[in-house]
Amino acid sequence: MVRGGGRAAVLVLCTLCAGVAQSCGRDEMRPAPRELRINLETEPPSLDWSLATDGISIIAIQQLMRGLTRLSRDLRPEPDLAERWSVSADGRTYTFALRPGVVWSDGEPLRAQQFVDSWLRLLAPETAAEYAYFLFPLKNARAFNAGTITDPGAVGVRARDDATLEVELEAPLVYFPALVNFMVTFPQRRELIERYGERWTEPPNLVTLGPFTLEEWRHEYRLVLRANPRYWAGRPALDRITAYMVEEDSTALVLFEQGLLDLVKLPPLEIRRYRERPEYLRQPLLRGYYYGFDLRTPPFDDARVRRAFAHAIDRAEFPPLLQGGEQPWPSWIPPGMPHANPQLGLAFDPERARALLREAGVDPATLAPVRIVFNSDQTHKLVAEKVQAMWREHLGVRVELENREWKVFLKELATNPPPVFRLGWGADFPDPDNFMNLFTSYSENNHTGFANPHYDALVLRAASEVDPATRQSLYDEAQRILCEQDVPIVPLFVTASNFAVARRVHGFVPSPMDLYFFDRVSAE
Amino acid sequence: MIRYAAGRVLAGVPVLWVVATLTFALLRFLPGGPFDKEKTLPPEILRNLERRYALDGTLAEQYADYLGRLVRGDLGPSYKYVGRDVSDILADALPVSVELGLLALAIALGGGIALGLAAGTRRDSALDRIVGIATLVGVSAPSFVIGAGLILGVGLELDWLPAGLWEGPRYAILPALTLAALPLAYIAQLTRAQVITVMHQDYVRTARAKGVPEGRVRRHHVLRNALLAVLTYFGPLLAILLTGSFVVEKIYAIPGLGRFFVTAVTNRDYPLVLGVTLVYAALVVAANLAVDLLYAWLDPRIRVGGAER
Amino acid sequence: MTTSRATAALGALVIAGLVGLALAGDRVAGYRFDAQDSAHALESPSRAHWLGTDALGRDQLARLAEGARVSLLIAIGATTLALAIGLGYGLLAGWLGGRVDGAMMRAVDVVYALPDVLVIVLLIEILQATLLGVPDVARRVAALVAALGFVGWIGIARLVRALVLQAREETWVEAARALGLRDRRILLRHVLPNIAGPILVAAAFQIPAAILAESTLSFIGLGIQPPFSSWGTLASDGFEAMRSYPHLIFFPCLAILLALIGFHLLGETLRASLDPRRRA
């Protein structure tokens, strides 16, 4: 140590040079064939499909598991784990015949009881699943979730035998087969969940039956999925998917351009540069972006104030800002979804906004700064700063911005919602009910505290209404309450996904429901 | 020497104990627990949660339990990563940060000392001036500036090295260079200054006058004193490496301690925050101890008479 | 480090320029720092916007000037705080010596072992909870000043203590004591002016350290929040877009670099002028 200080330095330098020289060959960085590397952007909050509610977790879950049906390119339900199904004459009872020969990754066969176990777990009050309301169309499901009925046998789902699942609904639901494509209805292995407790989703405990299995989960860094040779539809074309969690958009993009990532979401600022390139892929989505108020916190407990803030937003500013194919949309049911109505919603009207504030007795000068909370992302930050400027300019209100990690943001929404928050909603199934029942009083995904019995009744009625004209008027009335009168939310625009896809990847086609199916993807 | 070493080790223990107690106090009194304002949970579940997060019993009982767990290396469960213990999380993240830190340290020490020696012994030459400017820029550039430069330049334009992730030895080079830049520059400046000072001191002049060859003069006297000076800087150096790692791990997407720390802070995952704090504190104490021992070994004057540090 | 007149002048010039920028604020650009203009977003430097604009159409020169205010304010505030605390603590420990000194230095060791980021975060939390009614930006600035001052005082305290210990042994101090002068008088009116030189140099080097620390914290998102900006937040925003719009990260980084170089040169000049041995 005392002696060759200079020599040590030379040695270090030489090692570095050797490393750099070696890297000029770059063989290690070339991907293996049939291997896909994507960017998941952030840590998935949960891989438990009864508890997960977000788009990041779904990306992983969708490769690991499947459900009774899946949706075709034009969003019609097709057989998946259910080979066929039939419905009774009164439309209330569905019978699903399970596909024979489907096995879990540990070799156990698929049984109808595993669906029953999963659905009951979703509805059980102890699970505290936010998506419990998703299965409220089932007979007695609501009562069971509320605890008024304690016998799980009373809930309208049972396994007639190992291969037959019988479902009984409260009222006929035309889109029910589409509903069961969604992850919360995927089957579960009750005995494994009981054995492993909270760690049942960690590898190697997790047992699944989809095209891929979970090989590794290095938290905050990457997930590794492996092809499942036992998948009923045949082994997928990819051997391995590595989902990294790179939060910095610019780092992810540089990695993509270096050939270390094959699929990244393009941040708004990069879209302009990528639009003409072959790697660019845009997919319009059935996905709405809204700002929600917490109705329990003043001044947002007054509907006039909420309407004022809504009138002070000029939606036309968002498309040039975000460049991602966003379409301003003042009502809630998105275009492309049946019964959408572009005429509804509150338009940009700063005069009206200020008048409403005066009427409500709110003085912007003395009002405490309004907090907008959003999850860390370039898009949300841009939108928040834009809204902050608009509210300051048109209302004279001071606004403070706070950001959170996605996982924590979701938790905060559930336990202690901020006065103003940003959120999106993508369709779980292609029917307006999925969008409208979000804001019913019994929906756990409703973080606004909005509870309007008339709205609830309208949505409930519309769900089982068969006549399209009646359905349209029911939804119009409900949307008027949601977007013009009570305004617990301000819908801003509908989004599109913008990707950069490496040329070695083929067959990547995201659906308008923002679902990815990597079993149909191949890579050179 | 042994006695001195033992004394230094013992001196480190109370430091750790104070840090542990402070973190316990903060953990109890800061807002944002694992389930504040959660939907009203049934009492049995509430009791289970309390037991798991060790929030039952009196404050004294909790403290005793906490210390006991610490000694056994159990840092408690994380608030945000349900089902995972802080020690598990740290066990994954620590080796990554240590690798990165050691590599950066090696680069900073090796490069810095070499440059400082070269510049100091050739004072006012062209090399000295170049090194002077380079080190001035080096201490003035925050790590994200260097990182941005390296990512765009070496990563993108030249496409020599990966601009992120942690998949193999090649992935460590850019982050380590970024992390090492500032310490390297500072060590170079320090070494150079020391070299110049020592070269003019009486005993060196004496050695030269006596006819001792230049090379030996350099090795024995100049280098030794330069190293001593660098050693005194070791504490701040470690601190800089630790805080520098936050930025570096963030921009290069490296799953190290720094990245977890920043995420835990924004998430208010206090057990994780405080677990990382304790690990850092332990590292600092251990490093200081190593430095003290090394110092004592290199400079016999320190060992005799334990007046002050 | 050659500290010829030229480099000293250069340092002074750079600092004067940046301070001037900070004092002028966004007036130097003719735009408000938070004025958004969607029609002119993401433009490269041009006649209308000398340093270009960002995604929301905000003029970058205005933001840089405003950022200069925030960054310099925090750095100078933190340095002043560190100097005040460090000086007091060091004087006390050095003068009293013995057991008290030992205890005080042990305490310093413990504080030193805490990672800076933790201290900063905790102070921000505490101040957020207490200073209600004060705008968020003021709270954050206060927290950053307090936190950066808090991590900076240790070095100064150690230096002051060492200097005081040294000075205590000087014969003239013993003589003053023998003459019956009160301790405090000796300390403040005689010892302090003598050791002021190195302390000022240390303080001068605290400023760039504080700028560096603040920009790093803001870069990882723990510092100033929008629409306000410091150089660190500007660099962070720029980093996100650096692939397509490098001008957004280039200028904040240049500003930080120049500020740090300037203050380092200033510190070096001070050190050279105060240390007779160094004049070769």
pLDDT band at A118 (very low <50, low <70, confident <90, very high): very high
List chain A residues with CB under 8 Å of B113.
5-6, 8-9
pLDDT band at B9 (very low <50, low <70, confident <90, very high): confident
Among residues 410-429 of chain A, which lie with CB inside 8 Å of chain B?
411, 414-416
Residue B75 has a pLDDT of 76
Pick the closest to residue C240 from A318, A277, B153, A246 (CA basis). A246
Q: Which of C220, C246, C264 sits opposite B140 (nearest CB)?
A: C264
Q: Is the Cβ–Cβ distance between A307 and A252 less than 8 Å? A: no
With an 8 Å Cβ cutoff, the interface of chain C facing chain B consists of 1-2, 101-102, 105-106, 109-110, 112-118, 121-122, 125, 129, 155, 165, 208, 212-213, 215-216, 219-222, 232, 235-236, 239, 242-243, 246, 249, 253, 256-257, 260-261, 264-265
Q: How many CB atoms lie within 10 A of CB B154?
A: 19
Question: What are phi and psi for residue B18, nearest 5 degrees?
Answer: -65, -45
Give the C-alpha separation, A120 to A114, whole Å: 10
Residue A161 has a pLDDT of 93
| Contact: C257, B141; criterion CB under 8 Å | yes
Pick the closest to residue B53 from B82, B18, B31 (CA basis). B82
| Non-local CB neighbours of A456 within 8 Å, separated by 6+ positions | A440, A441, A442
Cα–Cα distance list, C175 to C170, C171, C179, C189 (Å): 9, 6, 6, 15
The answer on pLDDT for A21 being more than 70 is no
Count Cβ–Cβ pairs < 8 Å, chain A vs chain B: 138
Average pLDDT over residues C200-227: 84
Mode of pairing for the β-strands spanning A82-87 and A505-506? unpaired
Q: Where are the beta strands (DSSP E) in chain C?
A: none
Give the C-alpha separation, B148 to B280, whole Å: 27
Give the C-alpha separation, C95 to C168, whole Å: 7
Q: Return the residue matching tokens 């439309």.
A: A91
Q: Which residues in B100-127 are b (16+ Cβ under 10 Å) and which e?
A: bbebbbbbbbbbbbbbbbbbbbeeeeee
Q: What is the mean pLDDT of chain A?
A: 89
Give the dihedral of Cα atoms A202, A205, A208, A213; nearest 10 deg.
70
Q: Return the residue matching tokens 């840092």.
A: B75
What percentage of residues in chain A have a pLDDT greater than 70? 94
Least confident of A80-89, C105-114, C142-151, C159-168: C105-114
List chain B residues with CB under 8 Å of A221.
166, 253, 255
ipTM score here?
0.79
Query: What is Dmax (Cα atoms) for chain C?
Result: 78
Residue A1 has a pLDDT of 33
Q: Is the Cβ–Cβ distance between C56 and C129 less than 8 Å? A: no
Query: What is Dmax (Cα atoms) for chain B?
Result: 87
pLDDT band at A79 (very low <50, low <70, confident <90, very high): very high
List chain A residues with CB under 8 Å of C135.
369, 398
Give the C-alpha separation, A53 to A48, whole Å: 10
pLDDT band at B305 (very low <50, low <70, confident <90, very high): very low
| Non-local CB neighbours of B211 within 8 Å, separated by 6+ positions | none
Tokens of A332: 């809630």
Q: Is the Cβ–Cβ distance between B30 and B273 less than 8 Å? A: no
Tens of pLDDT, residue by residue over B80-124, are: 676 677 888 888 888 898 899 999 999 998 999 889 888 887 877
Packing angle of the helix pair C192-219, B234-251 (nearest 10 deg): 20
Residue A20 has a pLDDT of 54
pLDDT band at A436 (very low <50, low <70, confident <90, very high): very high
Q: What is the mean pLDDT of chain C?
A: 81
Q: Return the residue matching tokens 């105060």.
A: C274
Question: What one-character DSSP code corresponds to residue A278?
Answer: T
Residue A188 has a pLDDT of 96
Residue B43 has a pLDDT of 58
Residue C34 has a pLDDT of 78
Query: What is Dmax (Cα atoms) for chain A?
Result: 93
Tens of pLDDT, residue by residue over C27-60, are: 777 788 778 877 788 888 888 888 888 888 888 8
The answer on pLDDT for A6 being more than 90 is no
List chain B residues with CB under 8 Å of A416.
36-37
HSE of A3, CA atoms in CB hemisphere, 13 A: 0
The answer on pLDDT for C3 being more than 60 is no
A188 versus A512: the higher-pLDDT residue is A188
Average pLDDT over residues B249-268: 82
Give the C-alpha separation, A260 to A76, whole Å: 36
The answer on pLDDT for A292 being more than 90 is yes
Q: Is A387 exposed, middle or buried (0-12, 13-18, 19+ CB in 10 A)?
A: buried
Question: What one-character DSSP code corresponds to residue A38?
Answer: E
Q: Is the Cβ–Cβ distance between A305 and A356 less than 8 Å? A: yes
pLDDT band at A474 (very low <50, low <70, confident <90, very high): very high
| Contact: A415, B260; criterion CB under 8 Å | no
Residue A94 has a pLDDT of 95
Cα angle for residues B284, B287, B288 (degrees, 5° grid): 85
Residue A5 has a pLDDT of 44
Q: Could you tell me how many residues make up chain A?
A: 524
| Contact: C220, B148; criterion CB under 8 Å | no
Chains touching chain A through at least 3 C-beta pairs below 8 angstroms are B, C
Type of residue at A313 = I
Cα angle for residues A65, A71, A76 (degrees, 5° grid): 155
Q: What is the mean pLDDT of chain B?
A: 77
List chain A residues with CB under 8 Å of B161.
20, 23
Give the dihedral of Cα atoms B17, B23, B24, B28; nearest 10 deg.
170
Residue A24 has a pLDDT of 47
Tokens of C177: 């004591």
Residue B89 has a pLDDT of 83
The answer on pLDDT for C165 being more than 60 is yes
Give the C-alpha separation, B174 to A221, whole Å: 18
Average pLDDT over residues A233-248: 92
Tens of pLDDT, residue by residue over B211-236, are: 666 666 656 777 777 777 787 777 77
| Contact: A382, C34; criterion CB under 8 Å | no
Average pLDDT over residues A230-254: 91
Q: Is the Cβ–Cβ distance between A65 and A183 less than 8 Å? A: yes
The answer on pLDDT for A228 being more than 80 is yes
Pick the closest to residue C20 from C80, C64, C86 (CA basis). C64
Residue A157 has a pLDDT of 95
| Contact: A321, C135; criterion CB under 8 Å | no
Give the C-alpha separation, B177 to B110, whole Å: 12
Among residues 268-297 of chain A, which lie with CB inside 8 Å of chain B?
none
Tens of pLDDT, residue by residue over B148-185, are: 888 888 887 877 888 888 888 889 999 999 999 999 99
The answer on pLDDT for B32 being more than 90 is no
The answer on pLDDT for A19 being more than 60 is no
How many secondary structure helices (H) and strands (E) does chain A include? 16, 19
Q: How many whole angstroms from its chain centre is CA A516?
A: 12
Q: Read off the pTM.
A: 0.83
Q: How many whole angstroms from its chain centre is CA C137?
A: 18
pLDDT band at B61 (very low <50, low <70, confident <90, very high): confident
Question: What are phi and psi for residue A505, nearest 5 degrees?
Answer: -95, 130
Residue B42 has a pLDDT of 53
Q: Is the Cβ–Cβ distance between C203 and C197 less than 8 Å? A: no
Least confident of A3-7, A355-359, A503-507, B28-32: A3-7
Average pLDDT over residues A199-220: 92
Q: How many CB atoms lie within 10 A of CB C154?
A: 19
The answer on pLDDT for A95 being more than 70 is yes
Question: What are phi and psi for residue A445, nearest 5 degrees?
Answer: -90, 5
Q: How many CB atoms lie within 10 A of CB B215?
A: 8
CB proximity A246 to B under 8 Å: yes
Tens of pLDDT, residue by residue over A392-403, are: 999 999 898 888
Q: Which of B14, B189, B266 sits opposite C1 (nearest CB)?
A: B189
Tens of pLDDT, residue by residue over B275-303, are: 888 888 788 778 777 777 777 776 666 54
Pick the closest to residue A272 from A327, A323, A325, A326 (CA basis). A323
Residue C115 has a pLDDT of 65
Give the C-alpha separation, A110 to A81, whole Å: 9
List chain A residues with CB under 8 Å of C128.
none
Average pLDDT over residues C249-274: 87
Tens of pLDDT, residue by residue over C196-207, are: 888 888 888 889
Residue B39 has a pLDDT of 44
Q: Could you tell me how many residues make up chain B?
A: 309
> What distance in Å separates residue C15's CA from the closest CA in chain A?
32
